Chains A and B, each alone.
Chain A
Amino acid sequence: MTLAELICPAGTPAALRTAVDAGADAVYCGFQDATNARNFPGLNFTPEELGDAVAYAHAKGAKVLLALNTYPPAGKVDLWRHAADLGVRLGVDAFIVADMGVADYIARTHPQARLHLSVQAAASSPEAIRYYCENFGVRRVVLPRILTIPEIRQIRTEIPCEIETFIFGNHGLMVEGRCSLTNYLTGQSTNMDGVCSPASDVEYARHEDGSMSSQLAGFTIDRFGPDEKAGYPTICKGRYTAPNRAQSYYAFEEPISLNLSRLLPDLIDAGVHAFKIEGRQRSKSYVRNVVRAFRQAVDDIRNGRAANIADLVALTEGQKQTQGAFETKKWR
């Protein structure tokens, strides 16, 4: 049986302490800039805060993983290099990277540093994963959320590194690290600026009938009825009209969250080393409840007991959950 480490999100120092206290084996976080894919207003860590966070986590036996998982625009790599140097100096336990240039810089400059390949790299075949392992010494891959458990089991036999899979949170299935939908409407890049649906471009409007519409950069991307559950204002989860459709429909994906609580034993059996909880943009309340629930579940499984998973549906997007492609590729 693998260790089944629990990798938990933190958008603020207080959230990191909450995650550690709730039983995280490792917490991932980022700086307050474009070097990570949750570059949201008021979120993330100053270098001083990260140093304190590393000390807090290490004192309690937890690790800190620094997300440098965006892509530097051509000729503008200094911000990412500086962040990597800073991360080493502050004692983070690993870097989560997507860009080959960033991986190469860390591998050459800080050969002792541990590299994890971000889901943003969208490496989903043994060939792609091996390339990163052989050229940059990647020790763990975070798999895209498009693979079935039998496929993960097969990949495990063909790669020389650990596997991390998402188990809860946002269910974004676009070719990760390649999505340009936000860029198309706002001019800001999810992959290079670290902002998907920047808050400065989001607007909500309530209507007299009790419905609520969400807009991004002036384009309406959904309208929720008075009693309908809402989702994030992202283009990929928008509902659109089309000439060949009688009603508006979710053209790309639906507002729904991943929840693999029932598949944990199968994932462990398939050789998954670490379970990732999405949600650095979420509150301490979310972190506390989700981490506690999965800590209990993983410990139960490792001790040979049936896992008793707390009901987390209230925390899911649209208050709906799915096992997605992990269960079957026919999930939609």
Chain B
Amino acid sequence: MSVRIEAANSARWPGNLLASRLACGVLQPILTRIVRRIAARHPSLFARLGPYQTADFVIDPIDLPFAMHLRPDPDRLLFRAVPRDAAPRADAVIRGRFMLLLELIDSQEDGDAAFFSRDLDVTGDTEAVVRLRNALDDVDTSIAEDTAAMFGAPGRAVLARLRRGYSADMEKD
């Protein structure tokens, strides 16, 4: 089974195709650094992924002009930003607002609750998604804060600001 990002979501950013490609290009070295650091710090992640280490996940933050492609293969880690219209077919697509996805990765939000509220969409191979969720949930430290710390004080400030905005949005909802 493989799935693609919905056409409707690709079409949401029609004027931003160039910006999307530029953003992907700028982000790529950063994403590679991030994923390598996470893998080095949390090698036990891979055991919980089991046979899904070579699965292709497309993570689709609906409020950003690009998606992300993750293949959590410890031997050939892949994490890249991709324009939506060029996103590969994937074993599973995980879709939601960027901050929700970030808080899920960090276990600050509950995936089942986000699914119940319909803020999180999952299509494709459900077992792949469940394994990825459980693997990430067994990480004790904050992946978001570790990542922010890679960029020093500015990185931490950006994360804090994003989280404040997200909390304010949640309170409004």
Interface residues of A (CB under 8 A from B): 11-15, 17, 40-43, 198-200, 202-206, 208, 212, 224, 227-232, 255, 281-286, 289, 314-319
Contact = CB atoms under 8 A, between A and B. Distances in A.
Interface string B37-77: 00000000000111000000000000000000000000000
Contacts of A198: 127
B145 interface: no
Contacts of B121: 204, 206, 212
Interface residues of B, number: 34
Contact of A12 (B117, B123, B129, B134): B134
21 contacts: A12-B134, A12-B137, A13-B138, A41-B50, A41-B127, A198-B127, A199-B126, A200-B127, A202-B127, A203-B1, A204-B123, A204-B126, A205-B123, A206-B121, A206-B123, A212-B121, A283-B112, A285-B109, A289-B110, A315-B113, A319-B117
A40 B111 CA distance: 15
Contacts of B137: 11-12, 14-15, 283-284
Contacts of B117: 229-230, 314, 319
Interface string B79-101: 00000000000000000000000
Contact of A11 (B109, B134, B140): B134
A212 B107 contact: no
The 5 A-B pairs at the shortest CB distance, nearest first, are namely A42-B134, A42-B131, A12-B138, A199-B127, A42-B48
Given A199-B127, A228-B118, A285-B109, 12 more contacts: A14-B107, A15-B137, A41-B134, A42-B48, A42-B49, A42-B50, A198-B127, A202-B126, A203-B126, A229-B116, A230-B115, A282-B112
Contacts of A41: 50, 127, 130-131, 134
Interface string B126-169: 11011111110111100000000000000000000000000000
B18 interface: no
B146 to A, nearest CB: 15
Contact of B130 (A42, A224, A228, A232): A42
Given A212-B121, A229-B117, A286 B134 contact: no
A288 B169 CA distance: 22
B83 to A, nearest CB: 21
B82 to A, nearest CB: 20
B118 A229 contact: yes
A303 to B, nearest CB: 29
Contacts of A230: 115-118
B118 A14 contact: no
Contact of B118 (A42, A43, A212, A284): A212
A161 to B, nearest CB: 33
B113 A286 contact: yes
Residue from B48, B116, B138 having most chain A Cβ neighbours under 10 A:
B116
B112 A318 contact: no
A285 B140 contact: no
A287 to B, nearest CB: 9
A282 B137 CA distance: 9
A255 B117 CA distance: 12
